[in-house]
Chains A and B, each alone.
Chain A
Amino acid sequence: MPESGAGTAARTGKGQSQNGGDPREPRAGGFGRPSLLRRFFDEIQNRLTADLDDRDPDFIRENLSLSWLIASIWFRGEVRNMEHIPENGPVLLVGNHSGGTVTPDTIVFTLAFNTYFGVERRFYQLAHNLVLTSPVGPYLRRFGTVAASHENARKALASGAAVLVYPGGDWEVNRPTWEANRIDFAGRRGFVKLALDAGVPIVPVVSVGGQETAIFLTHGERLAKLLRLDKLLRLKTLPVNLSLPWIVNVGDFLGHLPLPAKITVQVMEPIDLRERYGPDPDRNRIYEDITAMMQDQLTELAAERRLPVLG
């Protein structure tokens, strides 16, 4: 993976530095070391650079116990039909996303994937920039989390890996509680193009319960626009929820203590896009079909639940 190696070299300062030689050389500007602000932005940039080699199978294996405890005891996780995921080769796993910045569906599903196929199978998760630049970013990178971009996903799939994407992302995780059982990708169709370009099957992954971990009130789109967060941080929302320990939680930047809602995840059958839709498929139709399929599945899963949180 030459791209990945290059990414590592750039981050660690080994090899060719940006100012053309010894990385210890002062940068132009002449204060002997880059300014604090410059270093901050460099660090942000580094954290967003996809480096598939950052995924560390031993680290994942050693941390599965913690994921297992959280998923089993707190969320009583249940993942069904993992056998629908092709045994080998690249695959795009497309999920609905819930739970604000604390996303229990990801914890439960990544644990299931890593235990079912083993940490030896390469598995990457695409995440919002904000997640990777947060204090848990370096931890997640070792788990295989990379910044959500077409380029990063393409690299991962080209390497033969399984890639998990949540098209709804920051929008869907903050949908109001009364829309908990609704698939809402906000029209983001990039995953269809990605799967077609890479020639990989899509496996829809539908989860329920994540939106019961707090009371979600609003996306806060107007507030986000007003504060220009969409331009600065790619954040289209400034959500408001009622959660512990904050009670009224604006932004959810520090996360929250999720209520112990039961999380159920259903893995659906794989879809070979060209086999089903022909050699030159209509992307909009694929998007509509897949989201409708996932909505039907989510409605079924929601119908199984008798009580909120308890499941």
Chain B
Amino acid sequence: MRIEQKVTVDAPRHLVWDYVTEPANYPVFIEGLTRWEVAGDRHTGLGARYRMLLRVGAADVGGLIEIVEWQPEGDMAWSSVTGVDQRGRWRLRELADGRTRVTFRFAYGVAGGGLAGLIAERVAAPGLSRRFHHSLLNLKRAVETRRESASVA
């Protein structure tokens, strides 16, 4: 199952990139995150690992994830190492007016889950989609506030 959410942030791309690549920000702007910690020595960048859990229905779902793609100020993608299969991506594109188009993609599932797996993925999708939508709005607010603070300073 794949979920995609988009938002346009009124801030330059590097500010958005700095925000989404800082692991300390995730518990602040991702809704429903019940656990988030850096696993290992790398804080950020390619190969950095995080232990994460997201409340979905009756369970905290997630596991260990690893950054597998890192294009500065462009794309950052991750994939699960343990837990529910997941792949995610931040995709940042600069618009002509200097704003930034942010695309968030999240694909998840359980290989071998059969019919119950297919149903569970679909049942979970609306709640996850709504949550990511709110998370992107949180991201937009946070980055735009930073931009404004930077302009005032």
Contacts and interface: CB of A to CB of B under 8 A. Distances in A.
B113 interface: yes
Interface string B119-132: 11101000000000
A77 B119 CA distance: 18
Given A62-B110, A62-B112, A62-B114, A71 B57 contact: yes
**Residue from B56, B59, B111 whose CB has the most chain A CB atoms within 10 Å:** B59
A229 interface: no
Contacts of A58: 112
Contact of B58 (A61, A72, A118): A72
A186 B121 CA distance: 42
A66 interface: yes
Nearest to A73: B123
A77 B58 contact: yes
B119 A115 contact: no
Given A72-B123, A116-B53, A61 B110 contact: yes
A75 B58 CA distance: 9
Interface centre among B58, B59, B82, B111 (most CB of A within 10 A): B58
A158 to B, nearest CB: 25
Contacts of A79: 58-59
Interface string A102-143: 000000100110011010100000000000000000000000
A174 to B, nearest CB: 25
Interface in A11-70: 58, 61-66, 68-69
A68 B83 contact: no
A290 interface: no
A69 B84 CA distance: 15
Most buried by B among A61, A82, A112: A61
Contacts of A108: 58
Contact of B59 (A63, A66, A112): A112
B30 interface: no
Contacts of B53: 115-116
Contacts of A75: 58
Interface SS of chain B: helix, strand, loop or mixed?
A: mixed
Contacts of A71: 57-59
Q: How large is the interface on A (under 10, 10 to 19, 20 to 34, 35 or more residues)?
A: 20 to 34
Given A62-B114, A120-B82, A68 B60 contact: no
B83 A115 contact: yes
B57 A72 contact: yes
Contacts of B137: none
A252 interface: no
Nearest to A111: B59
A184 B111 CA distance: 41
Given A62-B112, A120-B82, A69 B120 contact: yes
B110 A65 contact: yes
A112 B60 CA distance: 7
B47 interface: no
A301 to B, nearest CB: 16
Interface string A77-90: 11100110000000
Contact of A118 (B57, B83, B110, B121): B83
A159 to B, nearest CB: 20
Contacts of A62: 110-114, 117
Given A69-B119, A69-B120, A118-B63, A76 B113 contact: no
Nearest to B118: A65
Contact of B60 (A61, A73, A82, A120): A82
Contacts of A69: 116, 119-120, 123
A79 B111 CA distance: 25
A139 to B, nearest CB: 14
A63 B119 CA distance: 12
B58 A78 contact: yes
The 3 A-B residue pairs whose C-beta atoms are closest, nearest first, are A72-B57, A77-B58, A71-B58
Given A61-B110, A68-B56, A69-B119, 7 more contacts: A58-B112, A63-B116, A65-B114, A65-B120, A73-B57, A115-B61, A118-B83
14 contacts: A62-B114, A63-B113, A63-B116, A72-B58, A79-B58, A79-B59, A83-B35, A111-B58, A111-B59, A112-B60, A115-B53, A115-B83, A118-B64, A120-B82
